[in-house]
Amino acid sequence: MAGAIIENMSTKKLVIVGVILLLFQAFSFMVGGLIEDGALVTMDVGLAYRDSTLSEWTEMAHSTEHRKLSCNFTATKTYENEGRYYECDLLPFMEVGSVAHKYYLLNIRLPVNERKKVNIGIGEIKDIRLVSIHQNGGFTKVWFAMKTFLTPSVLIIMIWYWRRITQMTRPPVLLEKIIFALGISMTFINMPVEWFSVGFNWTWMLLFGDIRQGIFYAMLLSFWIVFCGEHLMDQTERNRFSVYWKQVGPIVFGSFCLFIFDMCERGVQLKNPFYSIWASDVGTELAMAFIIVAGICACLYFLFLCFMVFQVFRNISGKRSSLPAMTKARRLHYEGLIFRFKFLMLVTLACAAMTVIFFIISQVNEGHWHWGGYTVQVNSAFFTGIYGMWNLYVFALMFLYAPSHKRYGDEQSTDQAGNSGEDIQLTTTITHVDGPTEIYKMTGKEAQE
């Protein structure tokens, strides 16, 4: 029986909000006591806590777990090499979503029952090592500071954005509604509820964080589809969310599958932190298959988004043919609009590419301890960089697509009523008539033609 007391320093410094423990077993080689192929080790494990050295231990969890050994002996199996260690893969052992207490006690017992063949054929155990993966103090401080600052920032711009829309005489269009919904999902993921995990034993924090991120993923991917589509549709098809069901439907279905996959592991870990979907062969195969399929779908989505952006650019280029007929001032105005819109589309494409890369790497990183030699890590700079990029992108969208109080071109349109219908259409103040921007009107007219 092995026991370990783990001291949580989070009561002294803000350093830990979650811990993963992985079991490593060192087996000694003995002739006649070899580790059988596919040997299964059975562990009777328990976890307890206390907040002072004088208080009694309080049990948090207790379970009997099974782990399949994967060990290799590199030397020749002779008497001369007895006592040397096998090289064994790391085994998933325990995952907790919150460490609010100061001291934790971990007990590991390996019962032996020859009649039931429990822990038979696993060789001679010489040592048990624990490897912990936790969120360090430096990253935690930066992460908490970012969330604390960005939450009110995005919330203020979101309120300002919706207030500008409600002041319009027309009802909000679909593009404005989905930008507002994107702002809500960004605010939801920004909320610094992690502060409460310092003082409260909220074991569901990891699951809650995954749910928040899943909602944001679904909203962001759906927004990009609608954002590109609204600059391709004609006026009769616009402003109807139902026309996007073929594209948004798979996104919602994929998000639901991610939720089910997450509940299969972290949902069970709410009651049993020692549970791991990677502990069985079937669970490992399903988890790996799911991660591979999710990565392939993310790549296919990005390729489809690139195709939609290409169509939007082609649509905009077709509209440029009407610019030479305008006056110089008006032509320069619309050339500036088109340039800024194309730049925004390229930024959108770059943001989508980084999001897809981050999603794939984070999924691989979730299981890299379970895959043996393949190791992919997401460092804190990349993680905080992607998170900051999302906030900056959402902030810029709400700022750029907020209805303007300016009425560019109305006076010229009144004085030049005898000009061509094309010029009158292009000089209409779009923020008061058909949509959020003049580009929105231009692309819709081109699609209709």
HEC string of the chain equals: CEEEEEECHHHCCCCCCCEEEEEEEEEECCCCCCECCCCEEEEEEEEEEECCCCCCCEEEEEEEEEEECCEECCCCCCHHHCCCECEECCEEEEEECCCCCCEEEEEEECCCECCCCECCCECEEEEEEEEEEECCHHHHHHHHHHHHHHHHHHHHHHHHHHHHHHCCCCCCCHHHHHHHHHHHHHHHHHCCHHHHHHCCCCCCHHHHHHHHHHHHHHHHHHHHHHHHHCCCCCCCCCCCHHHHHHHHHHHHHHHHHHHHHHHHHHHHHCCCCCCCHHHCHHHHHHHHHHHHHHHHHHHHHHHHHHHHHHHHHHHHHHHHHHHHHCCHHHHHHHHHHHHHHHHHHHHHHHHHHHHHHHHHHHHHHHCHHHCCCCCCCCCHHHHHHHHHHHHHHHHHHHHHCCCCCCCCCHHHHHHCCCCCHHHHHHCCCHHHCCCCCHHHHHHHHHHHC
Looking at per-residue pLDDT, the higher value among 387 and 36 belongs to 387
Exposed e or buried b per residue across 346-365, where buried means at least 16 C-beta atoms within 10 angstroms of its C-beta: eebbebbebbbebbbbebbe
Query: What confidence category does residue 444 fall into, taking pLDDT thresholds of 50, 70 and 90?
Result: low
Q: Does the pLDDT at position 291 exceed 90?
A: no
For residue 427, the Cα-to-chain-centroid distance in whole angstroms is 42
Q: Does the pLDDT at position 207 exceed 80?
A: yes
For residue 8, the Cα-to-chain-centroid distance in whole angstroms is 27
Mean predicted confidence (pLDDT) in 160-167: 89
> Hunting for tokens 């949509």 — which residue is that?
435
Looking at per-residue pLDDT, the higher value among 61 and 338 belongs to 61
How confident is the model at residue 435, as a pLDDT? Answer: 55
Whole-number percent of the chain with pLDDT over 90: 18
Q: Does the pLDDT at position 316 exceed 80?
A: no
The 10s digit of each residue's pLDDT in 268-286 is 888 888 888 888 878 888 8
Q: Does the pLDDT at position 294 exceed 80?
A: yes
Q: Does the pLDDT at position 200 exceed 80?
A: no
Query: What confidence category does residue 368 fall into, taking pLDDT thresholds of 50, 70 and 90?
Result: very low
C-alpha to C-alpha distance for 71 and 37, rounded to whole angstroms: 9
Q: Does the pLDDT at position 209 exceed 80?
A: yes
How confident is the model at residue 448, as a pLDDT? Answer: 46
Q: Does the pLDDT at position 114 exceed 70?
A: yes
C-alpha to C-alpha distance for 222 and 226, rounded to whole angstroms: 6
How confident is the model at residue 238, as a pLDDT? Answer: 65
Mean predicted confidence (pLDDT) in 324-329: 71
Query: What confidence category does residue 180 fall into, taking pLDDT thresholds of 50, 70 and 90?
Result: very high
How confident is the model at residue 439, as a pLDDT? Answer: 58
The 10s digit of each residue's pLDDT in 430-442 is 344 445 555 555 5
Lowest mean pLDDT among 172-176, 205-209, 233-237: 233-237
Query: What confidence category does residue 41 fall into, taking pLDDT thresholds of 50, 70 and 90?
Result: confident
Tell me which amino acid residue 212 is. Answer: R
How confident is the model at residue 97, as a pLDDT? Answer: 78
Mean predicted confidence (pLDDT) in 160-184: 88
Side-chain-side CA neighbours of 412 within 13 Å: the count stands at 16
Asked if 28 contacts 121 with a C-beta cutoff of 8 angstroms, the reply is no
Mean predicted confidence (pLDDT) in 57-64: 90
For residue 233, the Cα-to-chain-centroid distance in whole angstroms is 30
Asked if 286 contacts 260 with a C-beta cutoff of 8 angstroms, the reply is no
How confident is the model at residue 307, as a pLDDT? Answer: 92
The 10s digit of each residue's pLDDT in 214-261 is 999 999 999 999 988 887 765 556 677 888 888 889 999 988 988 888
How confident is the model at residue 319, as a pLDDT? Answer: 67
The 10s digit of each residue's pLDDT in 126-148 is 777 777 777 777 778 888 889 99
C-alpha to C-alpha distance for 89 and 85, rounded to whole angstroms: 13
Q: Does the pLDDT at position 33 exceed 60?
A: no
How confident is the model at residue 9, as a pLDDT? Answer: 45
Whole-number percent of the chain with pLDDT over 70: 73
Q: Does the pLDDT at position 157 exceed 90?
A: yes
Query: What confidence category does residue 22 fall into, taking pLDDT thresholds of 50, 70 and 90?
Result: very low
How confident is the model at residue 337, as a pLDDT? Answer: 75
State phi, psi for 88 to the nearest 5 degrees: -115, 145
Exposed e or buried b per residue across 131-168, where buried means at least 16 C-beta atoms within 10 angstroms of its C-beta: eeebbeeebbeebbebbeebbeebbebbeebbebbeee
C-alpha to C-alpha distance for 73 and 386, rounded to whole angstroms: 42
Pairing of strands 2-7, 103-109: antiparallel
Q: Does the pLDDT at position 4 exceed 80?
A: no
C-alpha to C-alpha distance for 231 and 442, rounded to whole angstroms: 9
| Chain mean pLDDT for the chain | 76
| Confidence (pTM) | 0.77
Q: Does the pLDDT at position 13 exceed 70?
A: no
Distance spanning both ends of the chain, measured CA to CA: 78
C-alpha to C-alpha distance for 42 and 330, rounded to whole angstroms: 77
245: nearest Cα among 222, 267, 262: 222
